[in-house]
Structure 1
Amino acid sequence: MPAAPTGSAAALHEPDLGHHGDAEATPGLVDLAVNVRRAPMPDWLADPITAALGDLAAYPDPAPARAAVAHRHGRPPEEVLLTAGAAEGFVLIARALTGARHPVVVHPQFTEPEAALRAAGHRVDRALLDPADGFRLDPARVPDDADLVMIGNPTNPTSVLHPADTIAALARPGRVLVVDEAFADSTAAPGADGEPESLAARRDLPGLVVVRSLTKTWGLAGLRIGYLLGDAALLARFAAAQPLWAVSTPALAAATACAAPAAVAAERAIAAELAADRDHLVARLSGLPGVRVAGRPAAAFVLIHTAGAAEVRERLRAHGWAVRRGDTFPGLGPDWLRIAVRDRGTTDAFIETLARILEA
């Protein structure tokens, strides 16, 4: 049996770590529960994926994609491990680091890191961030003796983007620091120098492992492609826990395409559009009575607090809208909802529905 969480963070009501937004987004509902961008796939991405279908008789060769991703982040190829989505990366880390004595997961955040640790038999402690402080990271909340620390940046579901220096302060010899940057590409902007607060190019921090995903911005959740960045010797341990040919040939083609300079430039343009749509969503939500937007959102989703959120969510479903419940994230409760950023027209229609529900 997987070990239960330990320490003061263990709660009487244990959140359902296996619940994800796709369970909310049932057919017939407008999907504000899943943080995957829905847009036509550009030809520069669709064409190599389609072409790869002609090579399915051969076993996948990850070398070209690995080299392309390494070049994007200014690393040698041996510091890249391609995975079947970011979620597989968490599983590999949990299985490879069975000797970790004190794993700590900083919450609220994506639940798969802790779920993977528990499934691998780890006893997990939780460092809970304070909603009154906008869920900002306080390094003092992470125990000094933690030898495996997992945190998201920007964090799902809070949408908080922590300063890179604050995250980097958690790194130290004898500790593996895993930073989930699945939404980091959504924080970039045209003219900006890379992605604000990303540690993907840092090679000087001991034990740093950065987890990346290509499924969110490019709508590839069904293709399953992500990667880990970190010290070559550490990644070799994770690779040893990975099945052979874990990443398919079409997924490798997508990884190569998404690492190209044109793709990175496109990401920044998309992120700028996302920021404008997010600001519009935050402004509309902030105008509703009884609704509080958490922190300063920086990702493709917004976290809100409103009394009776569970009933609000059910009434939204009855009116055709799916949003993500918050009580399955450790550190949150039944009065939290996560809302994906969509175009302004969709946002305005959603706000009209939500306003009527709250008035009633």
Structure 2
Amino acid sequence: MDGGEVPADDSKAAIAHGGDLDAARRLFPEAPEPWLDLSTGINPVPYPLPPFEASALHRLPSPGDLARLKAAAAAAYGAPGPDHVVAAPGTQILIETLPRLRPPCRVAVVGPTYAEHAAAWTRSGHAVRMVDDPAEAGNAEVLVAVSPNNPDGRVFSTTALGCAGAGLVVLDQAFADLEPVEAVSPRPGLVVLRSFGKTYGLAGIRLGFALAEPALARRIETALGPWAVSGLAIVAGLAALPDAAWRREAAAARAQDAARLDRMIGRAGGRLVGGTALFRTAEFSDGPGLFRALGEAGIYVRRFAESPSRLRFGLPPDKAAWCRLSRVLK
């Protein structure tokens, strides 16, 4: 649907996501267990969380706890201060919330990309149009872009996004932490989304952030309501966000892993389309056949109904998993 308007009922259709091993087991009931899940773009080597006090589970998070988390996020992401930060239970809820803060308007989503963006704006009554490039936004009042993009890894400069002329730009930087991309600070007309779970391999914690001007940040916080972030998520964020050394080491290690995966994909006859340090997307002469071969071996990768020749691979977590993937790709 690139370049066209999203049908009004399109948001009602089920959107396939990575990580659904129940779906994998239904597709390949004879596959060996345990499954090797390469269908997500989550860091396979999680941050080593320290032990935490049981009180984080026994009591409601305090305003002071949340303030310390927002200060840590502001420092990690380059925001001017904690008043520019919204902490949320994952970026998905932010994707759902932002469209509800505006009356129906014209929205351009740069795609193909993470399908929930267009679906969320459509569900809230906005007229959504998919475009191939920010320059094609036309008279859109809101521009949504993912950079680095999922699934092709494209990167859009803030200059290019700003030149589109939209009154509000939503920039989803879920995969930016481990990439050599420009640091983007919030400013009027720009909201930046950052994912904690993908970077730190702690997706089950459900923690994400929006960086915005203080007035808009307060509106988003009000829409989320009190105690939006759990005590355990706050503990995890306060431990991991200040650890810049771990992020640098993780970025270097995952880049090496991505290069290794590129070589394996090339030997299997794949043509690399793009990706990030956490996933690689490639085209194969028989994408459905390779998806089936991998699935029958208990390896789940991401496929795309609109591009059957393309498969997206997450990174294996350890030597045994790398060997398992290599055997099938050979």
Give yes or no for TM over 0.5: yes
Opposite residue 256 of structure 1, the aligned amino acid is L
Opposite residue 106 of structure 1, the aligned amino acid is V
Structure 1 partner of 2:17: 20
Q: Does residue 293 of the first structure (1) align with residue 267 of the second (2)?
A: no
Q: How does 1:31-42 map to 2 (within 5 A)?
A: 31-39=37-45, 41-42=47-48
From 82, 96, 108, the counterpart of 1:77: 82
From 308, 313, 317, the counterpart of 1:334: 308
- Residues 100 and 148 in structure 1, CA contact (< 8 A), matched pair in contact too: no
- Cα distance in 2 for partners of 1:7, 1:304 equals 23
% identity of equivalent residues? 28
Q: CA deviation at 1:247?
A: 0.8
From 207, 211, 232, the counterpart of 2:189: 207
Q: How does 1:212-227 map to 2 (within 5 A)?
A: 212-227=194-209
SS state at 2:204 partner: coil
* 1:101-157, Cα deviation, whole Å (9 max, x unpaired): 1011111211222222223232311113xxxxxxxxx432222x1111111111111
Q: CA deviation at 1:54?
A: 4.3
Structure 1 residues 9 and 28 mapped into 2: Cα distance closer, same or farther (>3 Å)?
Answer: farther
- Cα distance in 1 for partners of 2:126, 2:55 equals 39
Aligned residues: 315
- Cα distance in 1 for partners of 2:317, 2:67 equals 37
- Cα distance in 2 for partners of 1:321, 1:349 equals 8
- Cα distance in 2 for partners of 1:197, 1:52 equals 38
Structure 1 residues 52 and 96 mapped into 2: Cα distance closer, same or farther (>3 Å)?
Answer: farther
Q: CA deviation at 1:197?
A: 2.4
Structure 1 partner of 2:326: 351
Q: Does residue 96 of the first structure (1) align with residue 101 of the second (2)?
A: yes
Q: CA deviation at 1:168?
A: 4.3
Q: Does residue 107 of the first structure (1) align with residue 111 of the second (2)?
A: yes
SS state at 2:199 partner: coil
Structure 2 partner of 1:234: 216
- Cα distance in 2 for partners of 1:183, 1:76 equals 22
* 1:46-84, Cα deviation, whole Å (9 max, x unpaired): 33xx22644532344311111221233241221111010
- Residues 17 and 112 in structure 1, CA contact (< 8 A), matched pair in contact too: no
**Unpaired runs of at least 5, structure 1:** 129-137, 189-195, 356-360
SS state at 1:71 partner: helix
- Residues 264 and 329 in structure 2, CA contact (< 8 A), matched pair in contact too: no
Root mean square deviation of aligned Cα: 2.6
* 1:194-219, Cα deviation, whole Å (9 max, x unpaired): xx2231x253xx31100001101222
Structure 1 residues 60 and 118 mapped into 2: Cα distance closer, same or farther (>3 Å)?
Answer: farther
Q: CA deviation at 1:344?
A: 7.6
- Cα distance in 2 for partners of 1:314, 1:272 equals 32
Structure 2 partner of 1:192: none
Structure 1 residues 229 and 22 mapped into 2: Cα distance closer, same or farther (>3 Å)?
Answer: same
Structure 1 partner of 2:298: 320
